[in-house]
A and B are shown apart, each in its own frame.
Chain A
Amino acid sequence: AQSVTQLDSHVSVSEGTPVLLRCNYSSSYSPSLFWYVQHPNKGLQLLLKYTSAATLVKGINGFEAEFKKSETSFHLTKPSAHMSDAAEYFCVGYRDDKIIFGKGTRLHILP
């Protein structure tokens, strides 16, 4: 069965330090993968998308993600956290008309 697993429900980092949000997917072949961000009282916003053209994907607001087939991972990173990055982040997979959401990771930024 296909699944998308976000390994941490909460992550706390200090402002100015790197961010790592982890996502693993389970599939016998590479799916399309996305990261979305949700700020309070808002809908989700696309950060970036992977569709096999390049393994390192750059997104908005300084975020990027690397697709690693050998590890079935698609972790989201940012070199330096900003207070405005505090939000919930969702890893999403798509394959054969099935959309699969991870359960989300809430990112806390400490001053």
Chain B
Amino acid sequence: DARVTQTPRHKVTEMGQEVTMRCQPILGHNTVFWYRQTMMQGLELLAYFRNRAPLDDSGMPKDRFSAEMPDATLATLKIQPSEPRDSAVYFCASGTGTGDQPQHFGDGTRLSIL
């Protein structure tokens, strides 16, 4: 079964450090999504890309977060500098076409900022 792969699965770091999360979408998928999930806020869409171009990043705090797709097989989400309130599980998902197609989720990166 094709899967979305996220690395690392867990990350613990100190406040102020740069954090990079990586996502390998399913081969052939041209749409990539980044989500954040916390107990308090639930699941939030941070950004999504189609054909490597950002389509909607309105959910992402622009001052410290950045999302890119250096190539079709890699998506990255960076936080710099990180803050304790960024502690969450970050999910990547991929799909085909537009957002009206099913999304395939990775198992997430659990991030803890001390």
Contact = CB atoms under 8 A, between A and B. Distances in A.
Interface of A: 32, 34, 36, 41-46, 49, 51, 90, 94, 97-99, 101, 103-104
Nearest to B105: A43
B100 A43 contact: no
A98 B57 CA distance: 11
B100 A32 contact: yes
Interface residues of B, number: 21
A52 to B, nearest CB: 10
Interface of B is mostly: strand
Interface in B91-114: 91, 93, 98-100, 102-108
B55 interface: yes
A36 B103 CA distance: 9
Nearest to B3: A43
A90 B43 contact: yes
A32 B99 CA distance: 9
Given A43-B91, A44-B93, 13 more contacts: A36-B103, A43-B4, A44-B43, A44-B103, A44-B105, A45-B105, A49-B102, A51-B100, A97-B55, A98-B99, A99-B48, A101-B44, A104-B42
